[in-house]
Chain A
Amino acid sequence: MPTWEEKLTDKIDPQLADEISVFETEIQLRKQGKLDEKVFAETRLRRGAYGQRYDNGHRNDGIRSQELKYDSDLTKGPDTLWDAPGMQRIKIPFGGLNPDQMDMLADLAEEYADSVLHVTTRQDFQFHFVHIDDTPTLMRRLAAVGITTREACGNSIRNVTACPLAGICRTEVFDVVPYAKASAKFMLGHPDAQGFGRKFKIAFSGCAGEACGLVNMHDLGGIAVKRIENGKEKRGFALYVGGGLGAVPHDAKLFDPFLPEEELLPTTQAIARVFARLGEKKNRAQARVKFLVAKLGIDEFRRLVLEERKILPHDPRWTSYLANLNRDTEKPLKAPSHLNGQKRPEGFDAWFTTNVYRQKQEGYAAASITLPLGDLSSWQMRELAQIARRFSGDSVRTTVEQNMLLRWVSETDLPALYQELQRIGLSDPGAGTIVDVTACPGTDTCKLGISSSRGLAAELSTRLAAKSYSLDEGVRNLRIKISGCFNSCGQHHISDLGFYGVSRNINNRKVPHFQVVLGGQWQNNAGAYGLALISIPSKRIPEVVDRITDRFVRERQHAESFQSFIKRIGKRELARMLEDLTRVPSFESDPSFYSDWGDPRVYTIGDMGVGECAGEVISVAQFEMAAAERLVFEGQLSLDDGDYTKADAHAYDAMLQAALSLVKVEFMDVPNEPDTVVSEFRTRFYDTNLLGDRYAGSKFAQYLFRRHESPPKEHTQDQAHRIVEEAQLFIEAAHAGHDIIAERRSKQP
């Protein structure tokens, strides 16, 4: 019986085949102990093979922390056991798929994962519970249909994303797909992109006004623009650099308002070189290009890139793809047609309203497939591939809202398409509305997850779908995005109603909470980032949604946008109207608050006890922490008022207050003087690593040190926004620090 490798020899690009074989050899070397675990970790990450929750061999089963005794003690990275099943990320440049690729993805999910395909917020697919030994074969089978996992993770250029409507969009300046495709191909494995200290994400958008490309939140982003030069129309990009979400979001800076198309690839290469050369390498928390741009300033960054561009040796690939721009145009499967009085199946009209987009090409439409939590089964994917073959051909897309899109559907086919989708359970309406909640994997599978983002998303979707027909149109069109922690994989910063997971210690038990993030903007390529307002117990988040949306409906003025409404009401009033929801009943009176959505395990370590002395100190500490929370909130209010100096001062004071609360646990009489507080905090918590990396405490400590040592020379909106965000995260780390201290004290004899 031939192996997959032998069977697929002729179908895989030889270079890709070699790379997969190298990886297979590295697996063997690691097994023999001839390859260091850290080196192996980076090499597997660069092939998209990621660790998953509990891969350190421990899991709290709701009663105790249970050791998962795998067969082997071998590790595939620090603290990551060899046998622990992991996640495999699969890059889908610009989200573009054809039916054969869909079939292959379905097969692989079935054979090597758990029969589920998960669409990510960057148009990738992810499989879960994959064993590392299966990954080379999985990669070969993907390569046979033109898909790679290379550089899907690790410190590399990740999936290049683009607006899923590119090429058919009514508002686009031109189709950005050929440029996204060329960028992905040119930079894949490029020698100039191998020395990064952190990942690098690229996105393209066909216009500035719509949300689809989310350029503002990317390391590098291009928005299509045209101008007339010497009487001829010229294509180019408004090029942005240094954007990003993560713990502290940064707005991208305009690098060039019009970068000619032929300069796109060489400029990307030059940026990669500058980033590789000057970007931070040691401190991962400061290693994204956004920090380099912030540190140098956009003008200096631009100067360095342009200098680099001048000395780049010419590469014909920079422009060779431009000759094929028109040849790459998609060809529809069927002739255009119009919906003219055809019989419409039950449910069709609701689906048509939210899920169908009329293309700029007359007589064609694109249909969104609403995927609950971004998931579909292998069977659904295989059936969807067949449906695509029948109705739309090779033009399928994944979207950053974790859905899929069938393009070039001749309009008279829409009722039949709907019925086919109905047959496979993928005809839910509501794509891009409030019921279409986006969530990162959170505590389900991610090592960093704090609260159950998917659990909450499922709960909100179910509740909102049940009343979707009665929802006001202004509410229906809002978006909800949820992250399991502050890292923003669920894109909570750019949604109308955003949430990110935090935990709180209440009566010596941990309670899952979510920070409520308001003020973000999805439109205008992620035009504004929201800020955390208040943390609410996870089980009360549905009430938060109800209260805010009900009030929006009641008090909305004319066609006022949600963002304007939030701004008008003000954070103080919003916090007031939610304040009673912060209360958590005792475990005895309502234990449901002490477990997370969709997970019956007790969220906290149930047997944790706290000594009397520690208990008192923690109580004092909680009082101090409340003061820190108040200060950061004052900072938000000042930011809203445009008083950036005051916002900065409040945020700084909030961090000092939170640090003070920790220091007081050990040194009750510490003078409340900034130099002393910072110095004591550094000595007792940072140098000793007592804050720990579990909650990225060390990283957040830097926010305090930086602000203390280098106060801002000028107070801008950007700076104030950032420090308020940083202060919020520092407070979260301080909360976690208090938990660690309490836990340690409880274990002391």
Chain B
Amino acid sequence: MDLQRIGIKIFAADPAPVSVREFIPIFHTWIQKQAVKNHLLIDVHNYSHIHNGPGILLVAQEGNFSIDMADGRMGLLYYRKKPGDGITSILKTVLQACSLLEADPALAGRLRFRTDEIAVLANDRLQAPNNDETLSEIKPAVSSALRNVLPSGNIAISLSSTNPRERFAVRVQTGQSESVGALLSRITT
């Protein structure tokens, strides 16, 4: 399976003491500095009025970042739109973005991400319908990518929803929560 449109969401530590609208100026600053490597950052969109929606969206040519509020849980979602280097590369991008947010002076250390649970989604219903077959196919790649960054983790992967209408998404429980920086340091590619 040659999946390209993959997304990864890293959840904010609960409860995140940050208002979703605080990310609007931060993302604008990212555009001014073109702060995300290998990404052409284009625009910021405010969807904070949508219940459990994409929150604040940072549109890039290669993939979109959003302060996603799905299920009422804040997190940074990155999903790839253009062909890339696979799931490890996507994981690296989202972790780098998390790291930038954690270090942002405007948030003054109020935002931390947790890594004991991660969501991985496939934004491609043709290649990856939401079923067990896709789960079997995608599981090895997801496990492998996460074992590299959480070598002592006890990784469990399950479908987020059994509703065939939903896009394919899995909930990955890693058994431990290390810092974003620690995970990033283990990605060498």
Contact = CB atoms under 8 A, between A and B. Distances in A.
Interface of A: 1, 3-4, 7, 53-54, 59, 61-63, 66, 68-71, 83, 85, 103, 107, 110-111, 114-116, 128-129, 131, 372-373, 375-377, 379-380, 382, 424-426, 444-445, 455, 458, 461, 598-601
Interface in B62-101: 64, 66, 70, 81
Nearest to B5: A111
A724 B59 CA distance: 41
A379 B70 contact: yes
A733 B72 CA distance: 46
Contact of B64 (A69, A71, A107, A114): A114
A59 B32 CA distance: 10
B31 A61 contact: yes
Contacts of B51: 377, 380, 424-426
B161 to A, nearest CB: 10
B64 A129 contact: yes
Interface string B112-132: 000000000001111100000
A377 B32 contact: no
Contacts of B37: none
Contact of A61 (B32, B40, B64, B81): B32
A629 to B, nearest CB: 33
B28 A111 contact: no
Contacts of A425: 50-52
Interface of B: 5, 24-25, 28, 31-32, 40, 42-43, 45-47, 49-54, 57, 59, 61, 64, 66, 70, 81, 123-127, 165-167
Contact of A116 (B28, B47, B81, B166): B47
Contacts of A131: 81
A50 to B, nearest CB: 16
Given A377-B52, A377-B53, A3 B166 contact: no
B32 A63 contact: yes
Given A375-B49, A377-B52, A110 B123 contact: yes
Contacts of B124: 111
**Which of B32, B45, B53, B167 lies at the interface centre, i.e. has the most chain A CB atoms within 10 A of its CB?**
B53
A22 to B, nearest CB: 22
Nearest to A52: B43
A465 to B, nearest CB: 11
Contacts of B47: 114, 116, 375, 377
Nearest to A137: B126
Contacts of A379: 52-53, 70
Contact of B28 (A1, A7, A62): A62
A373 B43 CA distance: 19
B50 A3 contact: no
A68 B28 contact: no
Contacts of A54: 42-43
B179 to A, nearest CB: 29
A116 B50 contact: yes
A115 B53 contact: yes
26 contacts: A3-B126, A54-B43, A61-B31, A66-B32, A68-B61, A103-B165, A107-B165, A110-B123, A110-B167, A111-B124, A111-B125, A114-B47, A115-B53, A116-B50, A128-B45, A129-B45, A373-B49, A375-B49, A379-B53, A380-B53, A382-B166, A425-B51, A444-B45, A445-B45, A458-B49, A461-B49
A372 B40 CA distance: 30
Contacts of A68: 40, 42, 61
Contacts of B45: 114, 128-129, 444-445
Contacts of A85: 42, 59, 61
A59 B43 contact: yes
9 smallest beta-carbon distances between A and B, as pairs: A425-B51, A377-B53, A372-B49, A600-B25, A61-B32, A377-B50, A61-B31, A598-B46, A115-B54
Nearest to B33: A61
Contacts of A426: 51
A435 to B, nearest CB: 12
Contacts of B50: 116, 372, 375-377, 380, 425
A377 B54 CA distance: 8
A356 to B, nearest CB: 20
Given A103-B165, A110-B167, A83 B61 contact: yes
A110 B127 CA distance: 15
Given A59-B43, A111-B123, 8 more contacts: A70-B61, A111-B125, A129-B59, A376-B50, A377-B52, A444-B45, A444-B46, A600-B25
Nearest to B72: A425
Given A115-B53, A377-B54, A1 B127 contact: yes
Contacts of B167: 107, 110-111
A70 B54 contact: no
A601 B26 CA distance: 11
Contacts of B52: 377, 379-380, 425
Contacts of A61: 28, 31-32
A645 B166 CA distance: 63
Nearest to A461: B49
Nearest to A1: B127
B67 to A, nearest CB: 13
A226 B13 CA distance: 65
B22 to A, nearest CB: 11
B113 to A, nearest CB: 21
A110 B64 CA distance: 12
Nearest to B27: A600
Nearest to A444: B45
B42 A600 contact: no
B1 to A, nearest CB: 8
A17 B46 CA distance: 36
A726 B69 CA distance: 45
Contacts of A376: 50
Nearest to B41: A68
Contacts of B31: 59, 61, 66
Contacts of A116: 47, 50, 53-54
A418 to B, nearest CB: 15
B165 to A, nearest CB: 6
B24 to A, nearest CB: 6
Contacts of B166: 382
A218 to B, nearest CB: 30
A376 B124 CA distance: 21
Contacts of A445: 45
Nearest to B123: A111
B155 to A, nearest CB: 26
A114 B50 CA distance: 13
B2 to A, nearest CB: 9
A137 to B, nearest CB: 9
Nearest to B32: A61
A601 B126 contact: no
A69 B62 CA distance: 12
Nearest to B163: A382
Nearest to A376: B50
A168 B42 CA distance: 45
Contacts of A66: 31-32
